[in-house]
């Protein structure tokens, strides 16, 4: 089984200010692949996919778009001016301010740069918030496949149910 990244999304969001996760992708010297992964995963998994998408309507630059075919949001980082209005507009706090950088960030999963025993630098510098290995999808442990990565995140629907349960 190919080794894959396992991203502890809740953990990273919670302790982001105490993390200094590095990236080896030479896109540009400030590139942070994990920021682009966090944004993509937020729109894929954490976003409630609101029918009226207030986040998209909050963007004066038409930089945030709802892709009807997939029902997910995509941010055009060439149009985005990083004003954070979409983050403020989201009633569920899905869009973290730090995932809206002015610069474009990319992650290529260290394509062609890792030797046999190598580990991506983001894993080495993430204080275990990102892992690398023969992981597989385990929904009962809140581990889900998203594209070529695995993400550990408490599904918002499960969270809603548990909160409702606590309220009764
Ligand atoms: S941060 Fe970017 S996508 Fe969000 S509202 Fe501002 S310009 Fe639009
Ligand atoms: S407002 Fe928030 S939850 Fe709703 S579509 Fe936008 S990002 Fe997703």
Is 41 within 8 Å of 7 (Cβ atoms)?
yes
Q: Which helix (H) or strand (E) holds 89?
A: helix 85-89
Atom of ligand 1 nearest to the CA of 75: 3
Q: What's the domain range around 35? A: 4-165
Centre of ligand 2 from the C-alpha of residue 109, in Å: 27
Is there an atom of ligand 1 within 6 Å of 3 CB? no
Per-residue pLDDT of the chain (168 residues; tens, 9 = 90+): 688 999 999 999 888 888 889 999 988 888 899 999 999 999 998 999 999 999 999 999 999 999 999 899 999 998 999 999 999 999 998 998 888 888 888 999 999 898 888 999 999 999 999 999 999 999 999 999 998 999 999 877 766 666 667 665
Is there an atom of ligand 1 within 6 Å of 85 CB? yes
- pLDDT of 163 reads 67
Give every CB contact of residue 47 below 8 A, 6+ residues apart in sequence. Answer: 72, 73, 92, 94
Centre of ligand 1 from the C-alpha of residue 117, in Å: 40
Three-state secondary structure along 97-132? HHHCCCCCCCCCCCCCCCCCCCCCHHHHCCCCCEEE
Residue nearest (by alpha carbon) to ligand 2 atom 4: 50
d(CA 124, CA 22): 8
Helix, strand, or coil here: 23?
coil
d(CA 135, CA 8): 13
- Dihedrals phi, psi of 75, to nearest 5 degrees: -100, 130
* Residues facing 131 on adjacent strands: 6
Is there an atom of ligand 2 within 6 Å of 96 CB? no
How many domains is the chain built from? 1
CATH of the domain at 51: 3.30.70.20
With CA atoms as reference, report the closest residue to 109 among 19, 5, 38: 5
Pick the ligand that lies closest to the CA of residue 75.
1
Q: What is the pTM of this model?
A: 0.86
């Amino acid at each position: 089984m190919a080794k894959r990244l396992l991203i502890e999304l809740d953990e990273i969001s919670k302790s982001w200010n105490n993390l200094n996760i590095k990236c080896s992708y030479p896109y540009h010297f400030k590139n942070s692949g994990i920021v682009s992964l966090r944004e993509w995963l937020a729109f894929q998994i954490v976003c409630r996919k609101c029918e009226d998408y207030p986040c998209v309507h909050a963007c004066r630059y038409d930089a945030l778009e709802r892709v009807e075919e997939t029902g997910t949001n995509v941010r055009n980082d060439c149009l985005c001016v990083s004003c954070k209005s979409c983050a403020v507009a989201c009633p569920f706090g899905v869009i973290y301010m730090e995932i809206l950088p002015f610069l474009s960030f990319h992650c290529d999963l260290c394509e062609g740069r890792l030797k046999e025993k190598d580990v991506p630098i983001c894993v080495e510098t993430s204080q275990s918030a990102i892992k690398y290995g023969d992981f597989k999808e385990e929904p009962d442990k809140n581990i889900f496949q998203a594209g070529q990565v695995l993400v550990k995140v408490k599904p918002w629907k499960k969270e809603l149910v548990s909160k409702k349960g606590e309220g009764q």
